[in-house]
C-alpha cells in the first residue's frame, strides 16, 4: 500500500519562473462542464495572452504529511503550508484534477497554465495534517484511494472518506489491492494477468459505488507503474484519464492515460523545488522508441524522441538520470528535432527515469519531460 520496498520516485529542481494567474477556488468539488470551465479561465486570462496560449497543467502528488519515519514519501506540514502559500502569493490558478481532465477532452484543450494537488493512498495523516491547510487555502484536492486499505491502521476509514467526499474532496481509484500491476503471478499468462488486473480495478469501483455513491472517473497507477497494455485496459474500463508518477507538465499533447505528476516527498519537496516545478512548462517530446517504459533486454535503454526545434532551444537541452549515472544526448536530426538519449551505465533500482529540460525559444522559462523505466521481477 503506502510503503514501497521496490523503489521511489525522486526528482531534482531547476530554475523557476513565477506564474501570473489569479483565481480563487474553494475545496468544493468542481463539476463544471468543460465549456463553462474554459470560459471562466479565458475571462481571467485575457490580460495575459501569452498565458492563454500556454495550455499547461502542473500537477503535484503527495503521500504522507508529518510522518517522518517514511522520509521518501513524507512532507512536513509546515513545508506543505509553504507550498500552498507560494501558490497564493504567486497568483497561480489551482483547479481540480477533474477540471484539467475535462478540458483535455475538449477540442480547445487546456486554456492556460494551471496547478492541481493530488494525494495518493489515503493515509490518516492527510486528514489530520493536510486537510486543515487545504481548507485554509480553499483549494481543490484529489485523493486516490486503494479500497482494501481503507480502515486499516494508518489509513482513513469509510466514514472519514464519506465526510471528505461530501466536503468536496475528489476521490480517485487507486485499485483495491495497491499491487504491482505490471507483474505477472507464477504460471499466469497475459490473458490471466489482464483478467486479474481488471477484476482488481472493478472491485474497487464497486466498493466506491457502495460506500460513496459514485464511481471515480480518474485512475492512479500504484507506484506510478504503467505500460501501453495496462493503459489500454484502464481506458477500456471507462475511466476518463489515468495519472502516473513520472515528473512533467501536462499539455494538450499529453497521453491521457499516462499523465505526469511531480512527486513531492523527502528532500525533493523543498520550497525551492516546488516553486521551480510549479512554473515549469511542458517539453512536448513525442516518443519514437521504445514503445513501452518496461525494461526488457536492453539496459541502459536508448530513448528516441522528436522535439519541435522551433519551440525549444535544443542547443541547451539537458539530461538527468537517477543514481550514479550520466545521460548521453545525441541530436540525430536537428532539423526534425530527433534526439537519442541513453544512460552511460545500466539503470539502478526497480524504477528509474530519463529527464530532459530545455529553455523555451519564446516567452522564456524552462520545459520538462520525463520518461520512466520499470524493471519487473517477472516477465511481461
Q: What is the pLDDT of residues 172-215, one digit of tens each?
A: 999 999 999 999 999 999 999 999 999 999 999 999 999 999 99
In the chain, where the domains are located = 34-280, 286-374
C-alpha cell recorded at residue 365: 522559462
CATH 3.20.20.70, domain 34-280, yes or no: no
Q: What's the pLDDT score for residue 88?
A: 97
SS3 for 348-377 is: CCCEEEEEEEEEECCCCCEEEEEEEEECCC
User: Which residues neighbour 123 within 8 Å (Cβ) at sequence distance 6 or greater?
Assistant: 2, 63, 64, 65, 67, 154, 155, 156
**Residue owning grid cell 474500463:** 237
pLDDT band at 379 (very low <50, low <70, confident <90, very high): low
Q: What's the pLDDT score for residue 323?
A: 73
Q: What is the pLDDT of residues 33-81, one digit of tens each?
A: 333 433 433 343 333 333 334 489 999 999 999 999 999 999 999 999 9
Alpha-carbon distance of 97 to 61, in angstroms, equals 11
Is 214 exposed, middle or buried (CB count within 10 Å of its CB: 0-12, 13-18, 19+)? exposed
Average pLDDT of 345-364? 95
Q: What's the pLDDT score for residue 378?
A: 76
Average pLDDT of 276-282? 97
State yes or no: pLDDT of 17 exceeds 60. no
Contact 98, 217 (CB under 8 A): yes
The highest-level CATH class for domain 286-374 is mainly beta
Q: What is the pLDDT of residues 108-139, one digit of tens each?
A: 888 789 999 999 999 999 999 999 999 999 99
Q: What is the pLDDT of residues 230-249, one digit of tens each?
A: 999 999 999 999 999 999 99
Rounded to the nearest integer, the mean pLDDT of the chain is: 88
Q: What's the pLDDT score for residue 48?
A: 34
Amino acid at each position: 500500500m503506502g510503503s514501497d520496498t521496490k523503489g521511489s520516485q525522486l526528482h531534482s529542481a531547476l530554475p523557476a519562473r513565477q506564474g501570473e494567474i489569479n483565481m480563487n477556488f474553494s475545496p468544493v468539488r468542481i463539476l463544471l462542464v468543460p465549456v463553462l470551465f474554459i470560459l471562466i479561465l479565458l475571462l481571467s486570462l485575457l490580460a495575459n495572452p501569452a498565458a492563454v496560449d500556454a495550455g499547461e497543467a502542473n500537477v503535484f502528488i503527495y503521500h504522507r504529511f508529518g510522518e517522518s519515519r517514511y522520509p521518501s514519501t513524507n512532507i512536513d506540514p509546515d513545508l506543505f503550508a509553504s507550498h500552498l502559500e507560494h501558490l497564493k502569493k504567486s497568483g497561480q490558478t489551482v483547479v481540480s484534477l477533474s477540471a484539467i481532465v475535462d478540458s483535455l477532452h475538449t477540442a480547445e484543450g487546456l486554456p492556460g497554465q494551471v496547478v492541481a494537488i493530488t494525494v495518493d493512498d489515503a493515509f490518516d495523516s492527510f486528514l489530520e495534517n493536510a486537510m486543515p491547510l487545504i481548507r485554509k487555502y480553499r483549494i481543490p484536492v484529489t485523493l486516490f484511494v486503494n479500497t482494501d486499505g481503507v480502515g486499516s491502521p494508518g489509513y482513513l476509514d469509510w466514514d472519514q472518506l464519506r465526510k471528505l467526499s461530501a466536503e468536496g474532496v475528489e476521490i480517485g481509484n487507486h485499485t483495491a489491492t495497491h499491487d504491482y500491476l505490471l507483474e505477472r503471478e507464477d504460471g499466469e499468462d497475459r490473458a490471466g494477468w489482464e483478467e486479474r488486473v481488471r477484476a482488481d480495478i472493478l472491485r474497487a469501483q464497486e466498493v466506491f459505488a457502495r460506500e460513496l455513491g459514485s464511481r471515480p472517473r480518474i485512475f492512479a497507477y500504484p507506484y506510478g507503474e504503467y505500460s501501453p497494455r495496462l493503459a489500454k485496459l484502464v481506458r477500456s474500463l471507462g475511466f476518463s484519464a489515468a495519472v502516473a508518477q513520472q515528473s512533467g507538465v501536462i499539455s494538450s499533447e499529453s497521453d491521457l492515460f499516462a499523465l505526469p505528476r511531480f512527486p513531492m516527498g523527502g528532500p525533493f519537496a523543498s520550497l525551492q523545488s516546488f516553486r521551480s516545478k510549479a512554473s515549469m512548462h511542458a517539453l512536448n517530446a513525442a516518443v519514437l522508441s521504445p514503445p513501452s517504459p518496461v525494461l526488457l533486454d536492453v539496459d541502459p535503454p536508448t530513448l528516441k524522441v522528436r522535439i519541435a526545434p522551433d519551440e525549444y532551444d535544443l542547443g541547451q537541452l539537458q539530461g538527468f538520470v537517477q543514481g550514479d549515472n550520466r545521460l548521453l544526448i545525441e541530436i540525430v536530426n536537428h532539423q526534425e528535432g530527433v534526439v537519442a538519449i541513453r544512460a552511460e551505465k545500466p539503470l539502478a533500482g526497480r524504477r528509474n527515469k530519463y529527464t530532459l529540460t530545455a529553455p523555451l525559444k519564446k516567452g522564456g522559462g524552462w520545459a520538462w519531460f520525463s520518461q520512466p523505466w520499470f524493471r519487473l521481477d517477472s516477465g511481461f
